[in-house]
Amino acid sequence: MTTTDTPRALTVPALVDEARERLAAHLPTLVDVAADLHAHPEIRFTEVHAAARLTAELERAGFAVERGFAGLETAFVGRWSTADASEGTTTIAIFLEYDALEGIGHACGHNIIAAAGLGAAIAVRDALLADGGAPAHLVVIGSPGEEGAAGKVPMIEHGVLDGIDLAMMVHPAGEDVAASSSLSRVALDVEFTGRASHAAAHPERGINALDASTLALTAIGLLRQQLPSDVRIHAIVTDGGQAPNIIPEHTAIRAFVRAEDRELLLQDVVPRVQACFQGAAIATGCEVLIEERTPPYFSLRPNPALAGLAEQALGALGRPPAVAPQMGGSTDMGNVSHVVPAIHPMLSLVPDCSPHTREFAEAAGGEAAEPVIADGAALLAAVALAAFRDQAVVAEAKATFEG
């Protein structure tokens, strides 16, 4: 029997309405939070302003907040429980993201993610306080460094998901999606070392590290035609040499390698990309250093039971989900989804507008943000309340996760 066939599915629109009612009084604060974060963009692991604002709001809402989780200054965990909650009570985690991108600020809308997740947590707390009949542990996880640093991974390694039954977050995008997908990703930092020489007087005495970078990128370009269609490889040169009249003795590249299948990525694609760098070093006489300085991102595994509830919530919000959503980039929420049942639905901020663009960044700080904050918070709150009030939801989510 699917989620949409069960009697509890009929309650999802009512839960959305309840969440909206609970959120009404808090929406001005949530919109202000999103605007505040948008006006103070902070990149990975420097989100001091954002973490301070969000933890202050959580404490005002009655959550006990632990700052600096896993040794990360801007990571935090907020906890709230009903009076009758015990050790075996259902525990649900809502993730907040709040880091920005270099150069273009909140072009991925993490200010909206933070505000919507905060709103969902407050709405669930208000509903459970009024309800009095559903014991619950609610956890709000502030995870920094999602953009490029996989900040959730050290938090997972330090036990942030211990005891968590279900996890969820919501993300602004260019379309509405209940069961979003993503690609696994490995970041490679590559350095070529050659030998400097005068580029005009004695070029023959140099070993050209820029030639090595050029050869490597050319080899990767040729490799692409032999790879599965879901594989993505993109790179930038972070150091291209020192001066035109000096044979470059040092160059550096940062490359992202992605694929839907984690095992294919780690066991086949990444070694082949590394071989392009190694071969370029051999061809030019350079030395090469290849490092993975950030943990791998795993592809999202949206939980079918929870995604079914999210799909119904989107319908109740007047946001029919896309029939064939585009596969997105990469997110460390994928790593979470390999540990506990999780969802990462997407809500349209600007139709057909891609994140990581200046247009998306502008929309994330404008009038288009408020309905996404309100609807994102209502969606998460409705799914969480369905799970807290009906243990069959939790059982089905766990069964489909194991399956």
Q: Per residue in 212-256, pLDDT tens?
A: 999 999 999 999 999 999 999 999 999 999 999 999 999 999 999
* Residue 342: strand pairing partners: 167
In this prediction, residue 322 has a pLDDT band, given cuts at 50, 70 and 90, of: confident
**Entry pTM:** 0.93
Distance CA 371, CA 172 (A): 11
Distance CA 6, CA 270 (A): 43
Which residues fall within 8 angstroms of residue 53, CB to CB, at 6 or more apart? 33, 36, 37
Distance CA 373, CA 324 (A): 24
Nearest to 364 by CA among 95, 39, 111, 98: 111
* DSSP category for residue 182: -
The verdict on domain 184-291 having CATH code 1.10.645.10 is no
Q: Summarize pLDDT for 350-359 with one digit per residue, the tens.
A: 998 999 999 9
Distance CA 32, CA 49 (A): 14
With 0-12 CB in 10 A as exposed, 13-18 as middle and 19+ as buried, what is 388?
buried
| Interval 38-60 mean pLDDT | 98
- How is the beta sheet containing 184-193 ordered, strand by strand? 232-239, 250-259, 184-193, 287-291
DSSP 184-251: EEEEEEEEEE-B--BTTT-GGG-B-HHHHHHHHHHHHHHHGGGS-TT-EEEEEEEE--S-TTB--SEE
Identify the pLDDT of residue 182: 94
Q: Are 177 and 322 in contact (CB under 8 A)?
A: yes
In this prediction, residue 131 has a pLDDT band, given cuts at 50, 70 and 90, of: confident
In this prediction, residue 281 has a pLDDT band, given cuts at 50, 70 and 90, of: very high
Identify the pLDDT of residue 9: 41
Q: Domain map of the chain by residue range?
A: 3-182+299-402, 184-291
DSSP 96-116: E----BTTTBSTT-HHHHHHH
Q: Summarize pLDDT for 134-151 with one digit per residue, the tens.
A: 999 999 999 999 999 999
Identify the pLDDT of residue 1: 34
- CB atoms closer than 10 angstroms to residue 179: 20
Distance CA 217, CA 234 (A): 9
Tokens of 259: 């694929």
Detail the DSSP E strand segments found in 47-158.
64-67, 76-81, 91-96, 137-142
> Tokens 């309340």 identify what position?
385
Q: Summarize pLDDT for 12-23 with one digit per residue, the tens.
A: 999 999 999 999
| Interval 380-397 mean pLDDT | 97
Nearest to 156 by CA among 280, 21, 338: 338
Which superfamily is assigned to 3-182+299-402 in CATH? Zn peptidases (3.40.630.10)
Which residues fall within 8 angstroms of residue 222, CB to CB, at 6 or more apart? none
* Secondary structure class of 292 (helix, strand, coil): coil
